[in-house]
Structure 1
């Protein structure tokens, strides 16, 4: 064998040895994993179902990016909202992706990823309703403020008086249940709905006085041709019982999957992917402030 040939063979052997060593260094949890992600497919613009059954919206678009970065083979399936937590606990799905706000009550039964968006809750009523003149329109009422600033305390008091005796429609098992129980119990009548569409029809027909829901759902609804009689009213709500953003719901023992998703979310926030997709679907920037990465050094490089 010539020196040149022996050198080439030796070089190839060294290259293959280095590649094998690098492969062995990849942690086992980084191997490609298949996960089933449950979403409603009926909560525009977060997630929607096309006539052919395919899913579109902010979350399907974002998940396409996140799953690739997290080395996940993701299968999105549509199912009713009120069965998702049960399906997760029964291992029928691995992740809930349905504009799931990270609230104290939900954290008692679910693990959450980092937030991948942050939005506010808003009230909507009919333009000819007395509620159309509600005070504090556009005021962002942060329920995490402690103690509450004077203006916010006054806004909550005004809200109770303005809504006294009214009927408010919300989705069943809504994020807003805890807020309504804490601040408006005994003040209003609450009507719960299995689907947003049923609630919206009752709102449009005047069978309920108003609704409370996420701004990213209600603002596009107001822009629809058949919703010209509706108007946004009162303060916007965030924090406290409403949580501090939307995250993926996971089983509490699935820490490896949470770590993968968190790393991918940080990447998508840092490079502007979340901003780009939220502007596309929400017409507003819903990028959350994730703060510093605890797994990184002060220079921003991952810890060894």
Structure 2
């Protein structure tokens, strides 16, 4: 929906509201904006008249935001940040401030961190807080500016970008292949331990069905909740796990893991990038960089 400009309140009123809402004090807002207390009060009154609902509740000199006031403050911060960022880019200035991103631990360790220096060189004044989480609900809580998740796009009231569909395949340590019983054929999987990343082994069941190995019963099963632990177990030769190019690409390139078979299955989930509808300038820049990095990586993986 396109908002007609005549419905937008004056910028001075938004600035006065944002300052007052941040300080919860008209006098402090007036000092910050270098205007009088009365000017701030008048701007806020005009804004409330324009919108048709109150933004503050008042008890003497004390202010508190209404529910709609909280929503407008969040939107105002994002909009003013965007405007400041656009002006800064015109002057060639770097983005400053903090950026809180939430990513799955395995994605961070095996894909993001090896590429993060390139982003820091491009935006050296942006302070990054990388928080590890696999949580699939309320992913933007705790003041998170941007999240990466694997799964299905079920998140509401946010902006979602598809980063990558992936296919998964078995990987194991080279030393597991070097000793009997080895993995000369698909049927040899029955002599090995399978490493599960889901308690019921549904991903392995899908892969085995795809390989026409529905009747294969592995020698054993090990389940790990954290995918980094699964990869560590696979490197140690404890069993065979399923991986994708993003989580196992570095290990495959280094030779610490190998693909004993070429069969792969497209995962039912995908990697998604999630931001608030009004993303901060830092989140927009990081999202654009992350998306470009992923496109380049997946293109090279496909080409390989």
TM-score, length of structure 1 as denominator length: 0.46
Between structure 1 and structure 2, the one with the greater Rg is 2
Q: Which gives a bigger RCO, structure 1 or 2 (Cα 8 Å, sep 6+)?
A: 1
TM-score, length of structure 2 as denominator length: 0.46
